[in-house]
């Protein structure tokens, strides 16, 4: 009986003969969308099962002991990571962007199942993070490994990874249009007819999977009762400014907390400190527990008492300004609780916490307007929705995703104008204040951020290893001119010679033009040394720290045609401008055809 490898080979031969590449990509996009949707459904059901088990079986919530659950969840994740996964958990979306920009869209097999274990344990036990990121990562890993199995090229593999993200988002939110836009905005995919149809098929496949397993269950039980009122325009502008500053706070707080946790060298200390901090926050502000969809739904229903739950401030809860303060506290502390969960070793996503924070802020703004006594009255549910869009646009730098997502999941298409006002203002202010997002800051340091700018995109996709040349004959500073000519120049096809010391460190270079005038003067062969002829290179390229954009800039600034590459202080080779431009041109052709 033929083995799996033989069967795969037979299938690939049959596929090449009978199915065109275009048709196969469409089929794969449907399959990937279905599998990503299945992952999303599995994550949701597993997480909700854990939550219901803890609430009904252990009855922690009735005894107000639920705040100890996050540290248990984090401990379980820690044990899994230490003994099974054996590598730190990476941020889902950031790791996908890195894979697309630097690894040709390749993701390891363990990325398929790891999020399905760590995310439910984190969120089910009360970690203040979301499930979208893990669903996207697991779906993308499935897509990547299927693409590798069927020998698809890098460009097609990257497209199918984006299709997986669309399928996962479409399944979780049942919003197929926003799912496509997310793939385009966050993964900077070119929206052409070649990419549009696979994304559309994957998105449809994902949402149908959700309907099949979950039925017509809606994420937010909301029906629009009040449309856009022209006189509310100023308040939507105000909300846009408020969500922009909240987005900046959210992003800066994220990196500040991670910097704080770097002080703890042991993961055990991070887990202990993080778990205790989350528990304290949950005790004071119960809605910080888990994802927070119930909190959003209660606000949309106008029931802020149910949204806030039982708090230490219940004696004063009937004072509307106490309610406003508590809701504003959620706006402040959701970012802290979310990041603390990550920094303590938890797994999850930032997208849904962003929505929770935005919903609280939008509701706060509406309540303040309605209770100032100035005669203004706005829809609190509408502001709750639009606050979510403002935070998504600002935190993730994805305004179109924010607009269409909120419109789709609520059916609130009548709110398109205020959604556009708030989301665009939030995005513009945040984008001007921060060039990076939570997803991209660390990637920007290593030149791995994807962009819709074609030149920048191609430079990001270029690998330095592909353009480094090592066929240069090195010379020693104590060599005589005669030794250099006989041992290096006569045996080299290059006109540049790196001068290395005994530790293989570059101390200078010699260009053939430097010695051309006297290289045949035999009287100088024994009296002239390399150290007297060498000079410093016009610039250095530092392997591992310089991005390809910086390399290109160094060529432009120095006017050189060859630059030496240094790795950890030692000479590695040269990059030539001609080879760099050739590689650039080939990569540009590959990714724009």
Encode 461-502 in three state secondary structure. HCCHHHCEECCCCCECCCCEHHHHHHHCHHHCCCCEEEEECC
pLDDT at 196 over 80: yes
Work out the average pLDDT over 512-523: 80
pLDDT of residue 522: 80
Rounded CA gap, 503 and 147, in Å? Answer: 44
pLDDT digits (tens, 9 = 90+) for 470-501: 888 888 888 888 888 888 888 888 888 888 88
188 against 409, higher pLDDT: 409
Alpha-carbon torsion (41, 44, 46, 52), positive or negative: negative
Rounded CA gap, 198 and 90, in Å? Answer: 27
In this structure, what are the phi and psi dihedrals at residue 468, rounded to the nearest 5 degrees? -75, 130
Assign 66 a pLDDT band (cuts: 50, 70, 90).
Answer: low
| Paired residues of 575 in beta bridges | 468, 563
Query: How far separated are the first and last CA of the chain, in Å rounded?
Result: 42
pLDDT at 1 over 60: no
pLDDT of residue 209: 92
| Buried-state track 156-184, b at ≥16 Cβ within 10 A, e below 16 | bbbbbbbbbbbbbbbbbbbbbbbbbbbbb
Share of the chain above pLDDT 90, in %: 32
pLDDT digits (tens, 9 = 90+) for 83-130: 888 888 888 888 888 887 778 788 899 999 999 999 999 998 888 898
Rounded CA gap, 48 and 39, in Å? Answer: 14
pLDDT at 279 over 70: yes
Please give the angle made by the CA atoms of 435, 586 and 560, to the nearest 5 degrees: 75
Assign 401 a pLDDT band (cuts: 50, 70, 90).
Answer: very high
Rounded CA gap, 320 and 257, in Å? Answer: 31
Work out the average pLDDT over 258-263: 91
pLDDT of residue 410: 75
Rounded CA gap, 54 and 50, in Å? Answer: 6
Are 264 and 273 within 8 A, CB to CB? yes
Tell me the C-alpha to C-alpha distance, in Å, between residue 506 and each of 140, 418, 464, 468, 517: 43, 60, 19, 16, 25
pLDDT digits (tens, 9 = 90+) for 302-349: 888 888 877 777 777 788 888 899 999 999 999 999 999 999 989 999
Rounded CA gap, 138 and 165, in Å? Answer: 9
pTM (2 d.p.): 0.80
pLDDT of residue 359: 93
pLDDT of residue 221: 65
pLDDT of residue 287: 86
Tell me the C-alpha to C-alpha distance, in Å, between residue 142 and each of 34, 107, 111, 295, 455: 11, 8, 8, 32, 30
Are 459 and 101 within 8 A, CB to CB? no
pLDDT at 61 over 60: no
In the chain the domains, ranked by start, together with CATH numbers, are 4-214 (1.10.3080.10), 230-449 (1.10.3080.10), 456-592 (3.10.580.10)
CA 500 to chain centre: 41
pLDDT digits (tens, 9 = 90+) for 144-160: 999 999 888 888 888 89
Rounded CA gap, 172 and 181, in Å? Answer: 15
pLDDT at 36 over 90: yes
Type and span of the H or E element at 19? none
316 against 571, higher pLDDT: 571
Are 468 and 573 within 8 A, CB to CB? yes
Q: Tokens representing 70?
A: 């996050």
Are 131 and 291 within 8 A, CB to CB? yes
């Amino acid at each position: 009986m033929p083995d799996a490898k033989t069967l795969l080979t037979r299938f690939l031969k049959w596929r090449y003969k009978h199915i065109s590449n275009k048709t196969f990509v469409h089929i794969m996009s449907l399959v990937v969308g279905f599998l990503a949707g299945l992952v999303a459904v599995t994550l949701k059901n597993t997480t909700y099962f854990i939550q219901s088990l803890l609430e009904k079986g252990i009855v922690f919530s009735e005894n107000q002991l639920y705040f100890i659950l996050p540290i248990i969840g984090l401990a379980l994740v820690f044990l899994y990571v230490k003994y099974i996964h054996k590598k730190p958990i990476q941020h889902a979306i950031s790791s996908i962007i890195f894979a697309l920009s630097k690894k040709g869209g390749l993701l390891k097999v363990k990325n398929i199942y790891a999020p399905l274990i760590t995310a439910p344990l984190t969120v089910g036990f009360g970690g203040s993070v979301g499930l979208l990121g893990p669903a996207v990562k697991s779906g993308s890993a499935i897509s990547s490994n299927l693409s590798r199995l069927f020998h698809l090229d890098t460009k097609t593999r990257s497209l199918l990874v984006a299709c997986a993200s669309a399928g996962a988002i479409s399944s979780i939110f049942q919003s197929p249009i926003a799912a496509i836009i997310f793939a385009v905005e966050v993964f900077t995919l070119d929206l052409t007819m070649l990419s549009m149809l696979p994304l559309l098929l994957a998105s449809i496949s994902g949402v149908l999977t959700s309907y099949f397993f979950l039925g017509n269950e809606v994420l937010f039980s909301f029906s629009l009762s009040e449309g856009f009122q022209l006189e509310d325009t100023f308040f939507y502008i105000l909300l846009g400014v408020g969500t922009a500053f909240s987005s900046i706070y959210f992003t800066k707080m994220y990196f500040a907390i991670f910097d704080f946790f770097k002080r703890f060298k042991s993961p055990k200390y991070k887990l202990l400190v993080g778990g205790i901090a989350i528990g304290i926050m949950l005790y004071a502000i119960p809605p910080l527990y888990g994802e927070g969809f119930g909190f959003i739904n209660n606000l949309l229903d106008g029931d802020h008492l149910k949204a806030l739950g039982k708090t230490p401030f219940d004696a004063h809860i009937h004072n509307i300004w106490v309610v406003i303060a508590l809701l504003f506290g959620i706006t402040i502390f959701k970012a802290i609780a979310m990041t603390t969960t990550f920094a303590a070793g938890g797994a999850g996503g930032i997208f849904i916490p962003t929505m929770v924070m935005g919903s609280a802020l939008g509701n706060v703004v509406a309540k303040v307007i309605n209770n100032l006594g100035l005669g203004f009255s706005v829809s609190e549910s509408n502001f709750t929705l639009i606050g979510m869009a403002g935070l998504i646009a600002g935190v993730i730098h994805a305004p179109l995703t924010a607009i269409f997502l909120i419109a789709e999941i609520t059916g609130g298409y009548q709110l398109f104008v205020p959604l556009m006002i708030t989301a665009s203002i939030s995005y513009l202010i945040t984008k001007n204040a921060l060039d990076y997002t939570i997803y991209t800051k660390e990637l920007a340091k290593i030149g791995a951020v994807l962009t819709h700018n074609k030149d920048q995109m191609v430079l990001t996709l270029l690998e330095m290893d592909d353009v480094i040349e090592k066929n240069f004959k090195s010379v020693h500073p104590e060599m005589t001119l005669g030794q250099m000519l006989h041992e290096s120049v006569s045996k080299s096809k290059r006109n540049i010679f790196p001068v290395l010391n005994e530790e293989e460190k570059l101390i200078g270079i010699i260009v053939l033009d430097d010695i051309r005038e006297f290289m045949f003067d035999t009287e100088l062969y024994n009296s002239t040394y390399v150290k007297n002829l060498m000079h410093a290179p016009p610039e250095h390229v530092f392997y591992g720290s310089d991005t390809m954009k910086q390399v290109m800039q160094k060529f432009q600034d120095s006017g050189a045609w060859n630059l030496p590459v240094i790795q950890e202080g030692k000479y590695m080779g040269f990059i030539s401008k001609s080879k760099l431009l050739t590689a650039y041109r080939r990569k540009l052709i590959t990714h724009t055809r």
